[in-house]
A and B are shown apart, each in its own frame.
Chain A
Amino acid sequence: VPVSDRIVIVGASLAGLSAAETLRAEGYPGELVLVGDEPHEPYDRPPLSKAVLAGRTRGAPWLPRTRELGARWLLGRAATGLDLGRRRVRVGDESIGYTGLLVTTGASARGWPAARGGGLAGVHTLRSLDDARALCDALDRGPGRVLVVGAGFTGGEVASSLRERGHEVTVVDRGPGPLAGALGRTLGGFMSERHRAAGVDLRVRTTVETLEGDGRVSAAVLSDGSRVDVGLVVVALGAVRPTGWLRAAGLAADERGLCCDATCRALARDGTPAPGVFTAGDVARSPDPDAPDRWRSLEHWGNAVEQAAVAARNLLRAPADRQPYRPASAFWSDQFGLSIKSVGRTEGTDAELVVQGSPEQARFVVVHGRAGRTVGAVAVDEPRALAGWKYLISGDIPFPPPFTAPGAPRAAA
């Protein structure tokens, strides 16, 4: 069947919906097909580890629609094959031709290895709505102590929600403190206290060796030799990107994501752009604008929305009119009653300084330095301070910054 203007979007979550709405907003009149491996229409993931898990909301966090898409939806079905030369994507037993393809398949939770107890009942991950519902059901059955493996954003939010529900919680993290990897030592130390104050049994600089049980998990053996009796485990060790079908088609893809250029064109393994294929969101692995030989995939909500819009516009445009995507790194998390937000680079930095408030007041801003420049900022319960720091960081200021708020401590962390 010959194809005239059919765009297929594989991945029907936040980025896929953003791309679809952008295509229509730009006046794309042709066929639109959305493929999603989950059986649900697009929803928002951040509430899953917060309000949904804590049981404060009964409904699902469906995403608002701003326009009629007039799309054909293939939900509960994964794309399994791709022919770049003939421009066809395989979905189940259907082969769908395309003029343009957008890959917005996102990421999946990294599971626990089967050889160390990953196959036991009661071992969960939390990424999808169905994951959240399964976890809530398991918690409703009164599992006893819950083990959270990993204290990044998801692990911390899960621990917070579980304490709110009244569950006994042990958190194990290999780093020096919760969020230390993503947001630095100051946050790591501060969040350690918050976890403990909320009644979490926090084990830092520790890993889980193995999960044990007779069919169902009943204990965890930790790297310090201790053994914890647990009835439920939530593995929060980050994400992988399932890209086998893309790799098999000859694209530059692995579990870190699908490589693309600055205009979001997906790249073949030889580094040339694949004709008509664009990518965005968690799955897209883009060149770092500050270090073009470095590639990175950003697991940010804002990135999924904005990169998908840029990718969709570039797909419609002639090559000379395509715009490069400039990622704006921004995170947020709500846990243990705190608003935690960051801008810029806060990972792999070499210095930190509290420039406003103090951890003792549980209200502060800490800025990050790297090679003598101020490159990022984290605000705890100070959301109104961050826009200013975002602006200052974009102006390339030295570290330590040449000013601080009145009365702010100036000791380097």
Chain B
Amino acid sequence: MRVLIDMNRCESYGQCVYAAGAVFAFRGRESLEYDRVPPGHTWADVRRAASACPVGAIRLGEAPEDGVCR
């Protein structure tokens, strides 16, 4: 799994931080930082974070198969 947040859309509501605190975190009061290639054991939480985002800013996708760029 790979994660990308559209920061033009993100309004730092922080729902992702509650849903998947190992992957999404605030630095300072409003700056969001996140792990773009989260480990497998967090994927269920990351999916919950994406659906909890009130502005739909979190995009999930995959790595290209077999390490080639496909």
Residues of A within 8 A of B (CB): 12, 34, 41, 44, 46-47, 50-51, 56-57, 59, 61-66, 68-71, 73, 75, 301-302, 305, 330, 332, 334, 337-339, 341, 363, 381-384, 386-387
Contacts and interface: CB of A to CB of B under 8 A. Distances in A.
A300 to B, nearest CB: 8
B8 A334 contact: no
Contact of B4 (A44, A73, A381): A44
Contacts of A44: 4, 36
Nearest to A46: B7
Nearest to A63: B4
Most buried by B among A301, A363, A383: A383
Given A59-B36, A64-B3, A339-B28, A71 B8 contact: no
Contact of A68 (B12, B35, B70): B70
Contacts of B44: none
A73 B30 contact: no
Interface in B24-53: 27-33, 35-37
Given A59-B36, A384-B12, A71 B70 contact: yes
Interface of B: 1-4, 6-8, 10-13, 27-33, 35-37, 59-65, 68-70
A330 B59 contact: no
A64 B30 contact: no
A62 B2 CA distance: 7
Contacts of A50: 33
By secondary structure, the B interface counts as: loop
Given A41-B64, A63-B4, A387-B11, A71 B28 contact: no
B11 A383 contact: yes
Given A59-B36, A70-B70, A381-B30, A65 B8 contact: no
A61 B7 CA distance: 15
Nearest to A328: B8
Most buried by B among A59, A64, A332, A337: A64
A54 B58 CA distance: 23
A44 B34 CA distance: 13
A70 to B, nearest CB: 7
Given A44-B36, A62-B63, A334-B31, A339 B69 contact: no
B36 A66 contact: no
A41 B66 CA distance: 13
A57 B36 CA distance: 9
Given A64-B59, A65-B64, A337 B70 contact: no
A330 to B, nearest CB: 4
A66 B68 contact: no
A62 B56 CA distance: 20
Contact of B61 (A41, A65, A386): A65
